[in-house]
Amino acid sequence: MSHRFMRSIGFSEEKTTKEIKKILKLVLMSPTEKQYVTLPDDSIAVEYRKEFSDSFGIAVCGEFSDEAEFDYEFYYPYLKGQYVSTTTDIELERLSEKESYEGVFDDTRVGISIIFRLSNRLDYLKLLMRDDVHAVRKPITLSGLAEEGTILLPIKKDKRQMIQNKKETIERNKLIADARAGDEEAIETLTMKDIDIYSTISKKIMSEDVLTLVDTYVMPFGLECDRYSVMGEILDINEKKNDLSGETVLIMTLNCNDLVFDICVNKKDLTGEPMIGRRFKGNIWLTGKIDF
């Protein structure tokens, strides 16, 4: 069965098991990159990666047993992000069913805990094998794969509004940080501000569309922890072609509540004409690379 985000990197027609196996065999036979890690049970964890553009590709993961046979475990499509999204404390936890990891960090800009699938898991495994994992602030490069998306026009703002919004964002982030540290005055101030915002929006929503009131957002979507519904301002656009399928993929850099990351979507799954300054709205699978 095809990974549901294979179409995001240009494999929308390859849906059957036979078609997917053919692609995975190509990854194993002519990988762009190979990584190995020896595990405590003397088996060797391995990851084959093949790029189908300079920005995205497929990773095939498994192990070499004592008989030197490759035991396939799972695969996933990936997008290489360009920008460090944040530098913060990260917690990592292994998934129950396979040797894959998810990370979580708190970000005051977004106001929620962000959970992502770790895309450089073997780098982390190497640290685990050397017992060299330390809880320190580390840079994270986030990237997202979207099944589909819609382009929206931007909200019109003048320079004075943009400066005021920036100032309010900085003040709110400081209040959130103080509130998490136990400052009761900050908690009370945040509560009052939230009540005022709720009251203002409740009045405006009667006569205005919600997309003219909300500029950007990041919200959990569905039952999977690393799935999000996002709307963000487009900062950059790049058009790439999948070398194997020939399909066109659009890679966009988004600003969602000052959290900057890249997303990719198949061009035929995008509604509207993307332009810098416009907004992208869609549901994404969030992955992240940690600079260990």
Between 130 and 51, where is the model more confident? 51
pLDDT at 134 over 70: no
Residue 286 has pLDDT above 80, yes or no: yes
Q: Tell me the sheet residues that pair with 115.
A: 104
Tokens of 58: 């497929």
**Angle between helices 159-180 and 184-204 in degrees, nearest 10:** 140
Angle 81-76-125 from CA coordinates, rounded to 5°:
80
Whether residue 178 lies inside any domain: the answer is: yes
Over residues 69-118, the pLDDT tens digits come to 788 899 999 999 999 998 888 888 888 878 889 999 987 777 788 999 99
As a whole number of angstroms, the distance between CA 228 and CA 284 comes to 5
pLDDT at 136 over 70: no
User: What are the pLDDT digits (tens) for 182-197?
Assistant: 888 888 887 888 788 7
Average pLDDT over residues 9-32: 92
Q: What is the pLDDT of residues 228-274, one digit of tens each?
A: 999 999 999 999 999 999 999 999 999 998 899 999 999 999 999 99
Residue 139 included in any domain: no
Mean pLDDT, the chain, whole residue set: 88
- Cα separation, 38 vs 31, in Å, equals 20
Sign of CA dihedral 187, 193, 196, 198: negative
Q: What is the pLDDT of residue 133?
A: 61
pLDDT at 1 over 80: no
Cα 49 to the center of its chain, rounded Å: 19
- The predicted structure's pLDDT at residue 235: 96
pLDDT in the model for residue 99 = 81
Share of the chain above pLDDT 90, in %: 50
Is 177 a domain residue? Answer: yes
> Which tokens sit at 241?
């072609």
Q: Classify residue 118 by its DSSP letter.
A: E
The residue range of the domain holding 198 is 157-213
- Looking only at the bridges linking them, the beta strands covering 279-290 and 91-94 are unpaired
The pLDDT, as a whole number, for residue 5 is: 94
Give the separation between CA 56 and CA 241, rounded to whole angstroms.
10
Compute the distance between CA of residue 169 and CA of residue 176 in angstroms, rounded to an integer. Answer: 10
Model-wide pTM > 0.85: yes
Residue 252 lies in a domain: no
Q: What is the pLDDT of residues 150-179, one digit of tens each?
A: 999 988 777 787 787 778 777 877 877 787
pLDDT of residue 76: 95
Any domain includes 208: yes
The domain tally of the chain equals 1
